[in-house]
Amino acid sequence: MQGQSLTSEQDESERFDLLIEAGRGEKNYWRDLWRYRELFYFLAWRDILVRYKQTVIGIAWALVRPFLTMLIFTFIFSRVAKLPAPGSIPYPLLVFAAMLPWQFFSTALAEASNSLIGNANLIAKVYFPRLIVPAGSVITSFVDFLITLGLMAVMMAWYGFLPDWRLLTLPLFVILAFGSSFGAGLWLCALNVRYRDFRYIVPFIVQFGLYISPIGFSSSIVPEGLRLIYACNPMVGVIDGFRWALLRGQSPLEIRGLIASTIVASILCLTGVWYFRRTEKTFADII
Amino acid sequence: MSDVIIRAEGVGKKYRISHQLERQSRISLFSNSTKNEDFWALKDISFEVRHGDALGIIGRNGAGKSTLLKILSRITEPTMGRVSIRGRVASLLEVGTGFHPELTGRENIYLNASILGMSRAEIRKKFDEIVAFAEIDQFLDTPVKRYSSGMYVRLAFSVAAHLEPEILIVDEVLAVGDVAFQRKCMDYMKSLARRGTTILLVSHDLFAVKTMCRRALVLAAGGLQFDGSAVEGIDFYEKDSLLEADPWAAGIIGEDIDQWPIVIRSVELLNAEGSPRTVYDYGERMRARISYEARRPVKYPNFYFGIRRSDNVVCCGYSASRDGVTIPSLDQSGVIELLTLPLRLVSDLYSTYAVVWDHEFKQLYCGQIGPNFHVRDEVLNQHFGVFHVPGEWRWGVNSGGKRVAATPSKENK
């Protein structure tokens, strides 16, 4: 009896391409994600196109925001609070090297967490792997990041502070930043679908993070004993890594802290995907 | 083997009502909305669709049609049962899903087509066809927020129409756009069907279902009530839907139709000679036969028969007491018949409703929704207004004043 039902099941799946059933369709998921890669591209393309429509200075906003923040932070932390910069690093470079990943992380997080709600009509009317939506937001923020990176290059040339071989390790830290923002973004956007409270929590996280991450200052001013706990904020590892890779290693990189940050980012990413996949099926019903 | 390409087996979908409440109002932190009321939007639906079928799905609002389409197009998961599908499915649950108002027509074609599942290469190949079908070539680089609603809909449908899927699922999209474009869409869907595309169409427009589909499913309250030929399905649906309370009347007299003093058992639409009709030519007379049942004695009932256009514009109403018929009292079942003057309504879909007032229009006894009908005319459509009556024209050069007859031959047939 058991065997019989098994073979008929096999017949079914051979004849039909698609079985829709409660809790099924899992095995198609990653294949679908690949099949829908063009949609992923188009959504990111749309967001980039739309982003600066009807603005006067357009994409220059991607430069103005971090640049102004950098000026203010330099003024407050270097001139007013008189915090030291490690080695011979000009303070503006110290701040801007941190602004780069932070800006990427915070925009990606904010955009990703609102992405599902912002695309509610798509979610309710069309099928596609939902993972595409928050992933697209992260990619869009990455484009801004690349533009800001150009500004960093200009500033480094201006100060005559050119990077060395360590620059080649930068992509690793970019991946770490990607992982952190994607993981956190997945959690927040999935939670946001059901609990709109997160619409208010996310700006708070971003604002809060700006001060607890080592952006206006070097993480070396954090007391020795607290560093490892501090590094559980994955952005600490990312920012330290960015400074180390961009600024000729004059800003120290603690391996233990980096490992802690990497572990936290990986956990965030894996559980983010897990939670997203678990709740994804109900998005259309509750959004 | 068999050419079944969609097989649904015991499909059911349960919603939990409390989630909805939770989502709507979370004002109070301590709100006790913990009662989980289960609601089955679909129950035990089984059917098969064969390759090349054109299947109409009809039912009232809330019958589960859209839920069924959402399950078939994988937007939501069934709670029970399963569906097996063979072939590429394209579902069109809304016109212009994912259109972005800031983007141009050209950009939106790419975006929308990719959302609907077309690859970039396919879009590029079909691009010119899409633009030509939508008739928007000179606005291709204008943001769609500047489009008129007609252009918007044309562009949106045009993208969807060029999908060429094996299975096309369509929900109510033909209800938009002007009549000429609607016809174009219908023709296009028919041509898809001829080329072997399987079509599932949900529509309130029974006329569209009748012309498009050979087969129909009738859903009611989440259950499958009928599965068979489209003509029989529509009859079944219309018979079943006769007793539906008009929401407006239900708001006054109460939802429970059984408590009303008088109810309409059926409204039959006939031609002047007395044979049933669903389509009338412009200028034809309509005979409406209303069967009623008085549960309690009703004083001076005033029967009223109204006609509403598909977009809910009330077009005309006939009142028995206004037309000089006085009935002192009613206390049992009976039939009342109305013969209209030639209908001057323009071609469109109309719904009917039958209401019983007292003779002073002060007290409402009942109000129910009757069957739908179409008015057909080659020329007269909504551009002529709600109705069209012939006029007398005079034409001449300057002071001349030469009379031209108003071609009554066509109008008075």
Interchain proximity A121–B81, CB inside 8 Å: no
- Per residue in B12-57, pLDDT (tens digit) is 998 876 544 444 444 545 445 455 678 888 999 999 999 888 999 9
B298 and B368 fall within a common domain = yes
- The verdict on B73 touching A (C-beta cutoff 8 Å) is yes
Interchain proximity B75–A15, CB inside 8 Å: no
Q: Considering only CB atoms, which chain B residues are within 8 Å of A46?
A: 100, 103, 107, 111
Domain count, chain B: 2
Interchain proximity A197–B26, CB inside 8 Å: yes
Provide the whole-model pTM: 0.71
B60 and B201 fall within a common domain = yes
B192 and B276 fall within a common domain = no
By C-alpha distance, the chain B residue nearest A197 is B26
- pLDDT-based confidence at B182, cuts 50/70/90? confident
- The verdict on A42 touching B (C-beta cutoff 8 Å) is yes
Of B82, B91, B97, the CB nearest to A21: B82
- pLDDT-based confidence at A4, cuts 50/70/90? very low
Which residues between 180 and 199 in chain A have a beta carbon less than 8 angstroms from any beta carbon of chain B? 194, 196-197
* CATH code assigned at B274: 2.70.50.60
B253 and B228 fall within a common domain = no
**Mean pLDDT within A247-255:** 87
**Within-domain flag for B198:** yes
B52 and B131 fall within a common domain = yes
**Within-domain flag for B317:** yes
Interchain proximity B115–A196, CB inside 8 Å: no
- Per residue in B61-90, pLDDT (tens digit) is 778 888 899 999 888 889 999 898 888 888
The predicted structure's pLDDT at residue B33:
47
**Within-domain flag for B112:** yes
**Mean pLDDT within B151-167:** 83
Q: Considering only CB atoms, which chain B residues are within 8 Å of A121?
A: 94, 97-98
B44 and B191 fall within a common domain = yes
**Within-domain flag for B367:** yes
Interface confidence (ipTM) of the complex: 0.78
Range of the domain at B318: 244-384
Three-state secondary structure of chain B: CCCEEEEEEEEEEEEEHHHHHHHHCCCCCCCCCCCCCEEEEEEEEEEEEECCCEEEEEECCCCCHHHHHHHHCCCCCCCEEEEEECCCEEEECCCCCCCCCCCEHHHHHHHHHHHCCCCHHHHHHHHHHHHHHHCCHHHCCCEHHHCCHHHHHHHHHHHHHCCCCCEEEEECHHHCCCHHHHHHHHHHHHHHHHCCCEEEEECCCHHHHHHHCCEEEEEECCEEEEEEEHHHHHHHHHHHHCCCECHHHHHHHCCCHHHCCEEEEEEEEEECCCCECCEEECCCCEEEEEEEEECCCEECEEEEEEEEECCCCEEEEEECCCCCCCCCEECCEEEEEEECCCCCECCEEEEEEEEEEECCCCCEEEEEEEEEEEEECCCCCHHHCCECCCCCEEECCCCCCEEECCCHHHHCC
B213 and B319 fall within a common domain = no
- pLDDT-based confidence at A7, cuts 50/70/90? very low
- pLDDT-based confidence at B178, cuts 50/70/90? low
**Within-domain flag for B408:** no
**Within-domain flag for B395:** no
- Per residue in B357-404, pLDDT (tens digit) is 988 888 888 888 888 898 888 888 878 888 888 899 988 877 655 555
Answer with the one of B209, B239, B269 that is the final residue of a domain. B239
B143 and B168 fall within a common domain = yes
**Within-domain flag for B212:** yes
By C-alpha distance, the chain A residue nearest B29 is A197
The predicted structure's pLDDT at residue B331:
83
* CATH code assigned at B50: 3.40.50.300
B161 and B298 fall within a common domain = no
Interchain proximity A20–B19, CB inside 8 Å: no
- The verdict on B261 touching A (C-beta cutoff 8 Å) is no
B229 and B249 fall within a common domain = no
Interchain proximity A197–B120, CB inside 8 Å: no
B264 and B235 fall within a common domain = no
B265 and B151 fall within a common domain = no
**Within-domain flag for B401:** no
With a cut of 80, say whether residue B412 has pLDDT above it: no
